[in-house]
Amino acid sequence: MVCRYLTYDEQEMLRAKKIAEDEIIIIANQKNPITYLSTKELAGIYSGKITSWEMLKGEP
């Protein structure tokens, strides 16, 4: 099982079958100054493209 889309090479060797969807919940320390995260920012955190709070503005 994977929680991402298959790469082109993987698609050539494997057949994907969606069996479920899941939700994630983001929890941060109450003292964290970031008060808002966009879906794009959350995806960046989850994928590892955003690695520190300083990379976020926190404004809608």
How confident is the model at residue 58, as a pLDDT? 55
How confident is the model at residue 59, as a pLDDT? 52
pTM above threshold 0.85: no
Mean pLDDT of the region 7-20: 88
| pLDDT 10s digits, 25-56 | 888 888 888 888 888 998 898 899 999 888 88
The span from the CA of 6 to the CA of 13, in Å, is 10
Q: DSSP of the chain, one letter per residue?
A: --SSPPPHHHHHH----------------TT-S-----HHHHHHHHHTS--SGGG-----
What pLDDT band is residue 60 in, cutting at 50, 70 and 90? Answer: very low
Domain limits, the chain: 24-60
